[in-house]
Amino acid sequence: MSVSTSVDLKLDPASAFDTMVEELTTALLRLGMRIEAGVAGRVLQGEAEVGRVVRWQPPAGVSIEWHGAEWEPAKVSSMELRFEPFAGGTRVTLENPAWGNVLGDEAQELAGWFASEAAAALLAAMAPGRFGDWFTDRKARRPSGRQSRDAYRDPIYHRPNFKVILAALNLQPHDYLVEVGCGGGAFLHDALKTGCRAAAIDHSSEMVKVASQANCEAIAQNRLEIREGDAGLLPFASGVFTCAVMTGVFAFIANPLRALSEIRRVLATGGRLALFTCSDAMRGTPAAPEPVASRLHYYQEHELEDLAHEAGFAEAHVERPDFEPIAREVGIPEEHLELFKRSAGGQLLLARK
């Protein structure tokens, strides 16, 4: 009995093929599986081969000899990934035409497997909770995909924040900066123009790659290192940095006190922190639209200051800069300047160890 699922994409077959292969490769890696693409390619689960490519024919499709039950090696089926053009797009279908044979049943047990492992997972993925989490991760919390990579290479709507932070830090060539949550590395690129050295982390592997590409010259000069990491456990020695920055990240941090404590740990005595986050005045605006807005934590000024003091910073205060002149300077379109006229929308925590 056949098991299949399909999606209609507004892409030509070649673009649909490339996009699906890229996205499947990334998604399966998170599940402990790996695709070796191309003719004679394989699909691995851990070190075990579960599939072998028998047809790799872009953009028409891929056929894989599938071993879904390693304990019964004689039970082999075929996984088909097809790309069929239609007016205005491409239908992508993933099908296993003999999965019932592998399961050993084409009635109740197949229904049970399909309901619990396929249909329920699809319904959950399309429900508001999980879909909202996926959307938030994809666009902001752990950016991934081509659109996010392009957006974070040149995040024009973040550039007013960058300029305010750079003015507050007043970086000098002797400074050693750490950025927690560097995204696509655009802030690092601007900061390094001062002649300082820097290090950074991000928990999105795709953003680490984008940031590394954007700052490849500084990396080659040993002025910058970028690692994949977690804000709650920074992979750096204590007391080595003169300054630290977080921009547009703090509202997503699950344990803010731990993150601030880690930043303080890696700062030298007298080291300074500049942290930008948005207030609840931005909730529901293009700066914090749903479903992202519901997954952000908004802080009052005193909460930010209290957290910094509790983390051990000797000094801490919050400023609310006027972003509108800077937004005009960096080229924010006139129709979006209204977002930057609300001085209450942006909070800049400045702290010193």
In terms of phi and psi (left: phi > 0; alpha: psi -120 to 50; beta: otherwise), the region of 321 is beta
Average pLDDT along the chain: 94
- Domain range spanning residue 86? 3-126
Quote the pLDDT of residue 152: 95
Structural domain count of the chain: 2
Quote the pLDDT of residue 343: 61
Tell whether 187 and 120 lie within a shared domain: no
**244-254 pLDDT, tens digit each:** 999 999 999 99
Tell whether 328 and 218 lie within a shared domain: yes
Task: Find the range with the poorest average confidence among 66-80, 296-310, 336-350.
Answer: 336-350
Quote the pLDDT of residue 319: 94
Quote the pLDDT of residue 119: 93
Q: 94, 126, 158: which is the final residue of a domain?
A: 126
Query: What stretches of the chain adopt beta strand conformation (E)?
Result: 3-9, 33-36, 42-45, 48-57, 61-66, 77-86, 89-96, 176-180, 197-202, 224-228, 241-247, 267-278, 315-319, 346-352
Per-residue confidence band for 345, with pLDDT thresholds at 50, 70 and 90? confident
**77-108 pLDDT, tens digit each:** 999 999 999 999 999 999 998 887 887 766 67
The pTM (predicted TM-score) of the whole model is 0.90
Q: Is residue 144 part of a domain?
A: no
pLDDT at 342 > cutoff 70: no
CA distance 352 to 118: 52
Tell whether 347 and 283 lie within a shared domain: yes
Per-residue confidence band for 322, with pLDDT thresholds at 50, 70 and 90? confident
CATH number (domain holding residue 273): 3.40.50.150
Q: 111, 126, 141: which is the final residue of a domain?
A: 126
